[in-house]
Chains A and B, each alone.
Chain A
Amino acid sequence: MIAVRHLTKQYPTHLAVDDVSFEVGARETLVLLGTSGSGKTTTLKMINRLIEPTSGVIEVNGIAIGERKLHELRREIGYVIQETGLFPHYTIGENIALVPRLLQWDERKTQDRIRELMAMLRLPETFVKAYPSQLSGGQRQRVGLARALAAQPSILLMDEPLGALDPVTRSAIRREFRNLEEIRQKTIVLVTHDIREAFELGDRVALMDGGRIQQIGTPRELLLRPVNEFVRNFFADQWLSLQLHAFSLQDLSPYLPDEATSPPEARLFPAHTQLADVMSELSGSETIVFQSSQRFITIQSATIWPALGQLLQHQSVS
């Protein structure tokens, strides 16, 4: 879907992006992770040509973006930014309808799409005529997403989409986003400085520093097989809790006892559920169950950690 090759951006005072290459496959989410000044936002903005690269090539759907008409390219790519960038003088409905109207959609179709998106993102229908200033930060963020999704782009670029929100709202919205079918269908490049967010949302993560990609891979690869000291140190602080994002119930199954039938009182979880989500769902000594290759496996918060310990030991040996 997106191919970036040898991308460089030289400013008069500094080198912002230094020979960056990566590819993002269809329906994949790539997170550009890094501290401020690492070049992640500059890289993102070069994809929809808000910034022109000094050298290098970017292809979207196999065509170099320099050969596309600027506004046509941008209308095919959803763009979500921090503080949402909603037009304060447009109603919520008008904000969402912005790109469809630029594309001169039929008005009926536009209205249907607004209603569909608002229902999907759990925004009350009465908000259609409200102005952005009348909404909470979380609600505005959902509108920002709705606007980016409105014209059904296959690609979404997200620049710190949740940066302006408090941590509680952030993780709630994050979970919501992840579970939306429409978003899962998109090819996404997301920029964040939040390591948890990167691990939670990214299929792959590119850790950037000083304009270069230090390592690109799945969260598990970055966590367990860092290529250099920088990568290791970057995750050191949160190493323990990040494991909960890097592994799913499935991964633990070899280290847990299994039973032939499901215990009748226990809740059933899908096997691909991240451990972090399991932890936040579990209360006290509750037992839950998941199914892995015809076996039912029970688990409690007390049994997660020993199993995870064995898993890690096994990983480091292999």
Chain B
Amino acid sequence: MQEFFEFIVEHADKLAEQTLTHIGLTFLSLCIALIIGIPLGVLITFRPRIVGVVLGSVGVLQTIPSIALLGFMIPLLGIGPGPAIVALFLYALLPIVQNTYVGIREVSPALKEAARGMGLTPWQVLVRLEFPLALPVIFAGIRTATVINVGVATLAAYLAAGGLGEFIFGGIALNNTNMILAGTIPSALLAILLDAGLARLQKLRGLGRFRVMAVFFLLVPVLSSFYLVPGAGRPKLSAGFAHEFYGRADGYPALLRTYNLHLASRLIDQNLMYEAVRTDLVDIISGYSTDGRIKAFNLRTLADDKHAFPPYEAALVVRQNTLKQHPELQPALDLLAGQLSDSSMTELNYQVDHLHQSPAAVARQFLTSAGLLRKPDGRKRQGKIVIGAMIFTEQYILAEIVRQLVENRTALEVITKTGLGGTKICFDALIAGDLDLYPEYTGTGLLVILQPPLTVSDTLQVSTKAVYQYVSREFDQKYQLSWLKPLGFNNTYALMMREAQAEQLGIRTNSELKRYLDR
């Protein structure tokens, strides 16, 4: 509990910014839904023939799972606040259109006839009679839409649109409960407060109700503008960080410590980060130095001249029990030592990410050209091992390489469990025996799992070899896990910018970035 409050206090600025963004997203989409939904609801009362079609289509939108709706937005509209607001707007549409229609329909036909009989034009009947009387029902729809939007807006973080979802996604990626709660509790409170407030409004009687509802309609655009507030004081360059990078000791905190580099950052899903920098949504991202998209999107990797990020040599981490049980395993795995350089790993990633080849095909090509595969001998499968892989391309490829190699060289059956959320999850599964091995990076092992005192890690970080030796010794003693020989490449964190912009601003290293921002 105390840790939770510490987290809140520590991230108060970020939290306030996310809350404002969240309110902004909710009301901006609501505002659009009102502008379009209410007239649409009114229109279909005049055109009974299209009622079914209209209510049916907005109803279908509502049945699409919210995460899928946001997912559809990526190929259609890309990422950023625009697509997120479109998705939220589509979600808010049904309750508003439906309640407007029902509210107007439910006004007593006798009253409508009396109004017409007295000589009101259809427009006057709508404005003077139907709309005011339908208002409580319409309002109930707005209330539903608002509460739905507060909830769904947490998913906007997935599209790099900000909001309280940033901490929720970050917390899930880092397996950090406090971080999840820091996003969940404010958004739940926001939903409760808005629901209660709007419920009170709905219960008001008489003339007061119309006044307060009018105030509410004026308030919606005002609340929408909250989205712009955090951006008002935006510095020269904006950053988009993966959740893991933002929360991990060797990520953004390390950057702060070493360079004192303060960046206005947004938390973005790591798979969308590259897209965000490519489409100018942000200027700097926290990429991985072997990612295929560096090549594809023409990005510049800034040199880490003060060694803020520890080396991240890739190697397989294996349970020692597994190695004992299957002695034929280690010789097979050792064949991979030193086989993958930085550039060859980047190339493999590029083939999967950009040329859309399957990880299995890319892995087979690599193993064949490296001459590591023997002719299949058709032995019967005996025993099995489980390989884990985290949720990014490189890990999928590595898991495939290991699977194909082991199945080629031994009689073992290999099961891959890919798409795991992060280091913590893989490591815990390995300890629990749910996994037998997974590809890990030395720096991550050091800072996420071992977490030595700063003095120790700072001295180690200067040397790639020293880190490898330290983690393999500690893992061996503490957890009975073996680090096999490094695969050869170093997939470290790196700040990246669009090549053209970096060239124009003359930024090649992290120190130069710092100097540029301070200027």
Query: Which residues of A, 53-85, contact B by the 8 Å Cβ criterion?
Result: 70-75, 79, 81-85
Cβ of A131 within 8 Å of any chain B Cβ, yes or no, is: yes
In contact, A102 and B132 (Cβ under 8 angstroms): no
Residues of B within 8 A of A99 (CB): 118-119
In contact, B118 and A74 (Cβ under 8 angstroms): yes
When C-beta atoms are compared, the residue in chain A nearest to B117 turns out to be A79
Please report the total number of A residues contacting B with Cβ < 8 Å: 25
When C-beta atoms are compared, the residue in chain A nearest to B124 turns out to be A102
Q: How far is the CB of A145 from chain B (nearest CB, A)?
A: 13
In contact, B115 and A71 (Cβ under 8 angstroms): no
In contact, B117 and A48 (Cβ under 8 angstroms): yes
Cβ of B206 within 8 Å of any chain A Cβ, yes or no, is: yes
In contact, B113 and A74 (Cβ under 8 angstroms): no
Whole-angstrom CA separation of A85 from B132 in the bound complex: 15
Interface centre among A48, A81, A89 (most CB of B within 10 A): A89
Contacts A71-B119, A102-B120 given; does A89 touch B114 at CB 8 Å: no
Q: Which of A72, A85, A88, A157 contacts B119 (CB 8 A)?
A: A72
- Complex interface bits, B124-156 against A, C-beta within 8 A gives 1, otherwise 0: 100011001100000000000000000000000
Q: Which of B119, B128, B129, B206 contacts A74 (CB 8 A)?
A: B119
Q: How far is the CB of A237 from chain B (nearest CB, A)?
A: 30
Q: Which of B110, B115, B119, B128 contacts A83 (CB 8 A)?
A: B110
Q: Chain B at the A interface: mostly helix, strand, loop or mixed?
A: helix
Whole-angstrom CA separation of A148 from B115 in the bound complex: 11
When C-beta atoms are compared, the residue in chain B nearest to A71 turns out to be B119
- Complex interface bits, A23-49 against B, C-beta within 8 A gives 1, otherwise 0: 000000000000000000000010010
In contact, A79 and B129 (Cβ under 8 angstroms): no
In contact, B133 and A98 (Cβ under 8 angstroms): no
In contact, A98 and B118 (Cβ under 8 angstroms): yes
In contact, B132 and A75 (Cβ under 8 angstroms): no
- Complex interface bits, B175-201 against A, C-beta within 8 A gives 1, otherwise 0: 000000000000000000000000000
Q: Which of A45, A72, A75, A89 contacts B118 (CB 8 A)?
A: A75
In contact, B116 and A74 (Cβ under 8 angstroms): yes
Residues of A within 8 A of B121 (CB): 71
Cβ of B111 within 8 Å of any chain A Cβ, yes or no, is: yes
Total A-B residue pairs with C-beta atoms closer than 8 Å? 53
Q: How far is the CB of A138 from chain B (nearest CB, A)?
A: 18
Interface centre among B116, B117, B132 (most CB of A within 10 A): B117
Residues of B within 8 A of A269 (CB): none
Whole-angstrom CA separation of A148 from B119 in the bound complex: 11
Residues of B within 8 A of A45 (CB): 117
Whole-angstrom CA separation of A81 from B110 in the bound complex: 8
Whole-angstrom CA separation of A293 from B128 in the bound complex: 56
Cβ of A282 within 8 Å of any chain B Cβ, yes or no, is: no
Residues of B within 8 A of A71 (CB): 119-121
In contact, B113 and A87 (Cβ under 8 angstroms): no
Contacts A87-B129, A89-B132 given; does A74 touch B110 at CB 8 Å: no
Q: Which of A70, A85, A98, A102 contacts B113 (CB 8 A)?
A: A85
Cβ of A119 within 8 Å of any chain B Cβ, yes or no, is: no
Residues of B within 8 A of A84 (CB): 114
Q: How far is the CB of B136 from chain A (nearest CB, A)?
A: 10
Interface centre among B111, B119, B128, B210 (most CB of A within 10 A): B119
Residues of B within 8 A of A147 (CB): 118
In contact, A85 and B120 (Cβ under 8 angstroms): no
Residues of A within 8 A of B111 (CB): 85, 87-88
Whole-angstrom CA separation of A88 from B210 in the bound complex: 13
Whole-angstrom CA separation of A102 from B117 in the bound complex: 13
When C-beta atoms are compared, the residue in chain B nearest to A76 turns out to be B119
* Extra inter-chain contacts (16) besides given A74-B117, A75-B119, A87-B111, CB under 8 Å: A50-B113, A50-B117, A71-B119, A71-B120, A71-B121, A72-B119, A74-B116, A74-B118, A79-B117, A81-B110, A81-B114, A83-B110, A85-B110, A87-B129, A102-B119, A131-B206
Which A residues fall within an 8 A CB radius of B? 45, 48, 50, 70-75, 79, 81-85, 87-89, 98-99, 102, 131, 147-148, 157
Show 7 residue pairs from A and B whose CB-CB distance is below 8 angstroms, ordered by the A residue: A45-B117, A50-B116, A71-B120, A75-B119, A99-B118, A99-B119, A148-B118
